[in-house]
Structure 1
């Protein structure tokens, strides 16, 4: 969904965009895109002698992300260049100003991909199968050693996990945290999206014509175990659709031809390392999800689903 209410100052950014357009082109309109949590996203409608087109502008406006924007946006720019010409449906890089030398805020300009984010329950199972196959394609990208992104960063640690304040299952949290009190397992490195989940994937069509038309948000791209990307999408699916949906995703990935850690304890480590980073209530993902139409995803519901997922992982030992 979109909104035309854009109360962020961006006059310098707009001038930077227009300076890079073709002769006679101008920004005719800007529409805020909902669904982003870390950044302000705009669709820019461009008019010129050769007709109309649209671009997407990502701007970091929150202080934390402004401080880290140089690394994040330059990494995304490098990844978009790397993906150009591959089968991964990523946007094309147009321009980047990672330090806000010319813009009001650190910004990246890219092409507009077709499709929409689909988070509803309808066709969730069909979409999950497509997600698994798309993620496998990302992991199979041949990347030269010199082009590899940074090694993955863990998004939580035993001492940083915060259980929900009023949890009725404190022992569950203790058990889950104990699993990640170890050195990370050895792994075979893969090219990771690192934030692959339904909110960062665009779809077109319905039924038999349902297709993935775009994968967005490459700022966290990393080098690491396939298990970590699979774990992240699994947690998101568990929060969106319930614990069983999260549990099934790893099986979908391996059924598509993907390979995960051989040892069950290692698989459990990666799954819990990701899931515990969502504690205590998964509000980071819930806010854009609710804005996209899933109003029922309250903190209480998400907490319950997260705990159900942790319990299922521990019961099944991945």
Structure 2
């Protein structure tokens, strides 16, 4: 039976667009908001099939982002999902995209639904970290015929927000580090937002140690750059979610999985510090989805304290 109130949560023009991309005799019978997104609304659409069964699709809609930015991101994601088909990287399949809102109320992308769920709990982390590392190595091994755009970093020494009560000396040294030119690197295919919130796990209830990755989502930031940048981003997320030690551990797991990082310790440190400092500008934004997902103890202040501890640990590693 159609849940009318939930289906109408999708704007009428967007719902009509979705319907045009379904098989004959299919219809949207239910929608469910998916939590965790920062820049876009995510909804799971349950599709009633002709034989009386159902299947799921996912709708990404940019509601609060300017159309030009949304167009760029959606086109890049659509291209990437097409590229990933048949590669073995578990990504959604592209169904349709309307990057300029020509037919939808807002810029939108429709894709297949992947099994699994995000797992942000501390329990089982020792199993999931090596899985994350191996998956990232597989992503970096892709060699597309056409390279995506060069990576972008927006944080500068002047935009860093030092947390209240932070180790002033460590943060000053870290800020000085990113004033320097970026190290040279050998470019690789990057996800650019690889972290536990964008990875879906299949975790058997009786045996969490048998967890496996069921999918990787949110490919709008795909770019070309140093593997260290993706590793640093996941490291910072792990440090804030689970403590600084896990942020430091991830780079080791990546290399153990066969990944290759920058040649020198100072070059590797540059990328990790840069990513850590980038989080200083958006602690409240990134921590809110974690609280919504059940990590209620990760208040803005708690995450700031973990970020300070992580940046300090990185600078201590420099000696």
TM-score scaled by length of structure 2: 0.94
Give the aligned partner of residue 158 of structure 1: 157
Aligned ranges 1:16-55 → 2 under 5 Å: 16-50=17-51, 51-55=53-57
Q: Give the gaps of 5 or more residues in structure 1.
A: none
Give the aligned partner of residue 74 of structure 1: 75
**1:176, 1:314 within 8 Å by CA — same for their partners in 2?**
yes
Q: Does 1:299 align with 2:297?
A: no
CA distance in structure 1 between the partners assigned to 2:282 and 2:310 by the alignment = 13
SS in 2 for 1:78: helix
SS in 1 for 2:158: helix
Cα deviations by residue, 1:142-167 (Å, 9 ceiling, x for unpaired): 222xx211000013111211212x33
2:165 to 164, 167, 170: 167
Compared CA separation, residues 223 and 169, structure 1 to 2 (3 A): same
Aligned ranges 1:1-318 → 2 under 5 Å: 10-50=11-51, 51-64=53-66, 66-144=67-145, 147-164=146-163, 166-206=164-204, 207-280=208-281, 282-317=283-318
CA distance in structure 2 between the partners assigned to 1:292 and 1:106 by the alignment = 26
Shift, 1:8, TM fit = 5.5
Compared CA separation, residues 107 and 281, structure 1 to 2 (3 A): closer
CA distance in structure 2 between the partners assigned to 1:140 and 1:188 by the alignment = 12
Q: Give the gaps of 5 or more residues in structure 2.
A: none
Cα deviations by residue, 1:227-253 (Å, 9 ceiling, x for unpaired): 000000000000000000000000000
**1:9, 1:104 within 8 Å by CA — same for their partners in 2?**
no
**2:239, 2:246 within 8 Å by CA — same for their partners in 1?**
yes
**1:73, 1:108 within 8 Å by CA — same for their partners in 2?**
yes
Shift, 1:205, TM fit = 2.1
TM-score scaled by length of structure 1: 0.94
CA distance in structure 1 between the partners assigned to 2:235 and 2:143 by the alignment = 24
Compared CA separation, residues 317 and 22, structure 1 to 2 (3 A): same
